[in-house]
Amino acid sequence: MADNYLSDLNEAQKVAVVNTEGPSLVIAGAGSGKTRVLTYRIAHLLRKGVPANSILALTFTNKAAEEMKERIIKIAGYNNSRYLWMGTFHSIFARILRVESDKLGYPSTYTIYDATDSRSLVKTIIKEMGLDDKVYKPSFVAARISAAKNNLITAQVYASNKSITERDRISKIPMLSEIYLRYAARCYKSGAMDFDDLLINTNILLRDYPDVLSNYQQRFNYILVDEYQDTNYAQYLIIKKLSEKHRNLCVVGDDAQSIYSFRGARIENILNFRNDYPDYALYKLERNYRSTRTIVKAANSIIINNKGQISKTVYSENSEGDRIRIMESMTDGEEGFRIASDIFDRSLSEQVKWEEFAVLYRTNAQSRIFEETFRKKNIPYKIYGGLSFYERKEIKDILAYLRMVINPNDEEALRRTINYPRRGIGKTTIERIFEAAANKEVTTWEIISDSSSYQPLLTPATWKRVQVYTDLVNSLSSECTNADAYGAAIKTATVTGIMKELKEGQTPEEISRYENLQELLNAIKEFTDAAETNGEPNDLAAYLESVALLTDRDTEKEEDRNKVTLMTMHSAKGLEFKHVYIAGLEENLFPSLMSLAENMGLEEERRLFYVAVTRAKEYVTLSYALNRYRWGKLENCTPSRFLSEIDDDYLQYPPSAEKNDNYRPPEYKRPFDRRRTAMTDKSVEYTSPHERNLKKFKPATGYNTGDQQLAAEKDLKEGAVVYHERFGRGTILSIDGEAPNTTALVVFDDSGEKKLLLRFAKLRLNDN
């Protein structure tokens, strides 16, 4: 054990580590050692003699939890650390629900549906209800259900809330509440929970069973939460309930990096921590160990424009570093080519590995141009957040069989496996079985397991083929009862015929699928051995739970390492690279058009820009195009307002056409007010406004001026039928605010309800 572990910390970090009692808020600036403080604080508790099983530590990725645990073991020793409750929110709550599942009417072997399973079930329900899947898009409906659950709105509450159902009616999706009701019922009948259920059901458990709440309150003397700014309402409530008794709650995060509101994250959780715990202690980690001084100062000049923030002064003692480069391209195609060329040249001239480069963009669609140009230049790349190993068909097929082994009521797994490998059970037969189960209000497994009671449903020949499947599942369930996860997986892959089918493949794609199956079995073996060594459950149920809760970052493979990373800015959080290129810095793309309707949306976009810039250790390139293709049409673009918020001292501008060896500032400048804001430890307030001369990039030709937009706004009234280039035909429900911040609430025929800032919306009156 390391006796001098505190010497690894700077003074600010040490103060945050050793003061372990009472509620604590640790505000950690980008690159300031947030994870180290959380790790050492836990290790310090263990070294003080606090029992490991009385410490609850919650993270957002399994990888972060594992890395922290390894470091804690080095400091506090394996035996002292062995029984820590450390993991992601979902994995910890799934563990609690396994023990308490009977109280909520679930089996202890309940299945966890991933996003693909959830969308598949939603799609099935939409089809069964005879609804148009272009109106009720499965991904949109699944997202609405997820958002409701994150706000603790159950299907019954949703359906009975007149305000919600009326809004759905106006948005021309009146059957959404019925879809939600059916979705919830089908999950329950299948003995399955989706990711959001793990949170909402934990809340229900703690709400409805005071003895259970008291038990876990008593158990967890110390609760620590990573990335607190990313917690949603459901997570916030669970943390608040569990910490009520001992009140030794330590949350670590950075309000300036709160960028996941679209997933339900609430920046208010961290900003209002002092309201929930008036006696809290505030600790600030302000030294950035990652980036150059120039990058840190530039990032500070960006984020200072936000009103909702906790005041801090992030600084760096690294080298001054190069200025941030501005790259201007005529088109988005040229932007892709120039960035690819720059990466290729720098890699050769500086002997930098590909993995040290990252290209960040606002939307996934922007990756196409970079993929094409990287292929042409033979630059190896990976797309972060692409198809996960566990989303590949052959992997999902075998995992579905393993799910059937422990929970035959899992209808999504049954649908996937009943005719794979092929056994002559067609789609029509499968739909007939599922329809009968829905009509009889029983599980599909009950139907196919009792052919005598449902004889007229299928022909005798079809029943025989179905019987082969049910006998197979029953046999595997019996034989795998006492087996570890690896033994059960090998048995299942062999007996089902999946291994034989994949092994016989001859094409490169088929060979790859067989290799993927081998890789999966290797992973299951590693899980089984590690669990056995650590004295943890190593059965099939434990393995399937661990797989269901994996994140993209947990599944990165070694061969993906030395490649240029292409990713959205949202995916980049928590990562770092030597060279960072931020592409598409144009108005209506970044900041996104959808964010401009309200100040909170714009502030989150600015935080996203702050996160993107602070991923860089040494070099940042900010790129924009003056023209970009949208819906097959080349449109003029205006450089992002965020470029004008960075102090000139930290920027290197594009060379002029006349003098390539010289850099010049933008031609168009104008002064405007920048309100600097700060949040004291007690309240949020404006500081005195400062007048500054800040650059403004020259608008592209054809840019609508404020006067032109205001003239158009005069004709926009409530009830007017309008047309939007992206969303199509719609009707204005209401108009609020005064120019230049007038907004319109519009319900579009195809896209539903949208709130638009009129000076950017470019709405046209529809004469039809």
> In terms of Cα–Cα distance, which of 329, 225, 247, 306 is closest to 611?
306
pTM above 0.75, yes or no: yes
* Of 281, 276, 262, 272, the residue nearest 310 (C-alpha): 272
Q: How far is CA 390 from the centre of its chain?
A: 17
Percent of the chain's residues with pLDDT above 90: 64
Q: What is the pLDDT of residues 283-331, one digit of tens each?
A: 999 999 999 999 999 999 999 999 888 989 999 999 999 999 999 999 9
CA-closest candidate to residue 232, choices 193, 269, 192: 269
Active site residue 227: yes
Pick the most confident of 74-88, 551-565, 596-610, 734-748: 74-88
195-208 and 89-100 helices, crossing angle to 10°: 50
Structure confidence at residue 301 (pLDDT): 95
Asked whether the predicted pLDDT for residue 676 surpasses 60, the reply is: no
- The Cα-based distances of 405 to 118, 400, 548 in angstroms read 20, 9, 16
Q: What separation in angstroms does the CA of 512 have from each of 392, 503, 509, 523, 722?
A: 11, 10, 5, 16, 51
Whether residue 705 is predicted with pLDDT greater than 50 in this model: the reply is no
Angstrom CA distances, 158 to 154, 167, 207, 704, stand at: 6, 11, 19, 42
What sign results for the dihedral spanned by CA atoms 101, 103, 106, 112?
negative
What's residue 706's pLDDT? 34
**Residue 19, helix vs strand vs coil:** coil
Q: How far apart are CA 87 and CA 198, in angstroms?
A: 14
Say whether 578 sits in a helix, a strand or coil.
strand
What pLDDT, in 10s, does the model give residues 512-560?
888 889 888 988 998 898 888 888 889 999 999 988 887 655 555 555 6
Q: Is 633 helix (H, G, I), strand (E, B) or coil?
A: strand
Q: Express as a percent the part of the chain with pLDDT over 70.
A: 88
Read off the pLDDT of residues 623-645 as tens digits, 9 standing for 90 and up.
999 998 876 677 889 999 999 99
pLDDT computed for residue 690 by the predictor: 28
pLDDT, one tens digit per residue, over 414-423 is: 999 999 999 9
Residue 719: its pLDDT value, please? 79
Catalytic option among 168, 194, 196, 226: 226
Q: Is 691 a catalytic site residue? A: no
**Contacts of 226 by beta carbon, 8 Å cutoff, 6+ apart:** 34, 35, 38, 57, 58, 59, 60, 64, 252, 253
More confident position, 724 or 525: 525
- 3 state SS of 387: coil
Catalytic residue among 194, 227, 356, 605: 227
Cα distance between residue 544 and residue 390, in whole Å: 11
pLDDT digits (tens, 9 = 90+) for 145-200: 999 999 999 999 999 999 999 999 998 999 999 999 999 999 999 999 999 999 99
Q: Locate 504 and state its tokens.
A: 């016989």
The pLDDT, as a whole number, for residue 267 is: 93
Which of 15-24, 420-429, 670-679 is predicted with the least confidence, judged by mean pLDDT?
670-679
Distance CA 115, CA 195 (A): 8
Strands 752-757 vs 743-748: parallel, antiparallel or unpaired = antiparallel
From 13, 34, 41, 709, active-site residue? 34
Judge whether 394 and 513 are in contact, CB under 8 Å. yes
The terminus-to-terminus CA distance of the chain in angstroms comes to: 77
Q: Count Cβ atoms within 10 A of the Cβ of residue 491 and give its class: 0-12 exposed, 13-18 middle, 19 or more buried.
A: middle
pLDDT single digits (tens) 155-164:
999 999 999 9
For 209-244, b/e burial (b = at least 16 CB within 10 A) is eeebbeebbebbbbbbbbbbbbbbbbbbbbbebbbe
Instruction: Report how far residue 252's alpha carbon sits from residue 289's, in angstroms, rounded to the nearest whole number.
Output: 17
- Establish whether 59 is a catalytic residue: no
Element (H, E) at 70: helix 62-76
**Parallel, antiparallel, or unpaired for β 249-253 and 222-225?**
parallel
Segment 558-580, tens digit of pLDDT: 556 789 999 999 999 989 999 99
**What's the distance, CA 172 to chain centroid?**
28
Burial of 79 (0-12, 13-18, 19+ CB in 10 A): exposed
**How far apart are alpha carbons 98 and 109 in whole angstroms?**
7
Whether pLDDT at 669 is above 50: no
* Cα atoms in the 13 Å half-sphere on the side-chain side of 263: 14
Starting from the edge strand earliest in sequence, which strands make up the sheet with 752-757, in order? Answer: 752-757, 743-748, 728-736, 721-724, 764-765
pLDDT band at 710 (very low <50, low <70, confident <90, very high): very low
Over the range 160-180, which residues count as b (16 or more CB within 10 Å of their CB) and which as e?
A: eeeebbeebeebebebbbebb
Question: Which of 272, 83, 320, 351 minimizes the C-alpha distance to 684?
Answer: 272
Which of 149, 284, 573, 615 is labelled catalytic? 615
Catalytic residue (one of 13, 35, 229, 709): 35
Answer yes or no: is pLDDT of 31 > 80: yes
CB half-sphere exposure, 558, CA atoms < 13 A: 1
Q: Where are the alpha helices (DSSP H) in 78-160?
A: 78-81, 89-100, 115-128, 138-150, 155-160
Examine the pLDDT at 666 and tell me if it is beyond 50.
no
Compute the residue count for the chain.
Answer: 768
By the 10 Å C-beta count (0-12 exposed, 13-18 middle, 19+ buried), 159 is classed as middle
Mean pLDDT of the chain: 86
Query: For 682-698, what is each residue's pLDDT tens digit?
Result: 333 222 222 222 233 33
* Residue 604 is a catalytic residue: no
The pair of structure tokens assigned to 177 is 């509440």
- For 306, list phi and psi in degrees, rounded to 5: -85, 140
- Cα distance between residue 38 and residue 68, in whole Å: 8
| Helix, strand or coil, per DSSP, at residue 651 | strand
Distance, in Å, from the CA atom of 43 to the CA atom of 290, rounded to the nearest integer, reads 24
DSSP for 730-767, written as a single string: EEEEEEES-TTS-EEEEEETTTEEEEEEHHHH--EE--
**Which of the two residues, 115 and 616, has the higher pLDDT score?**
616
Q: At residue 1, does pLDDT exceed 70? A: no
Q: Residue 742's pLDDT band (boundaries 50, 70, 90)?
A: confident
Q: Which of 597, 116, 162, 665 is closest to 399 using CA atoms?
A: 116
Which of 39, 59, 202, 257 is labelled catalytic? 257
Active-site residue flag, 34: yes
Give the integer Cα–Cα distance in Å for 685 and 423: 69
Partners of 288 in the β-ladder? 316
**Whether 194 is catalytic:** no
Question: pLDDT digit string (tens) for 410-451?
Answer: 999 999 999 999 999 999 999 999 999 988 889 999 999 988
* Predicted pLDDT of residue 700: 31
Please say if the pLDDT value at position 37 is more than 90.
Answer: yes
Instruction: Give the three-class secondary structure for 259.
Output: coil
Taking only the tens place, the pLDDT of each residue in 60-74 is 888 888 889 999 999
> Which one-letter DSSP state was computed for residue 78?
H
Residue 655's pLDDT band, with cuts at 50, 70 and 90, is low
Alpha helices in 286-356 (DSSP H): 293-303, 332-350
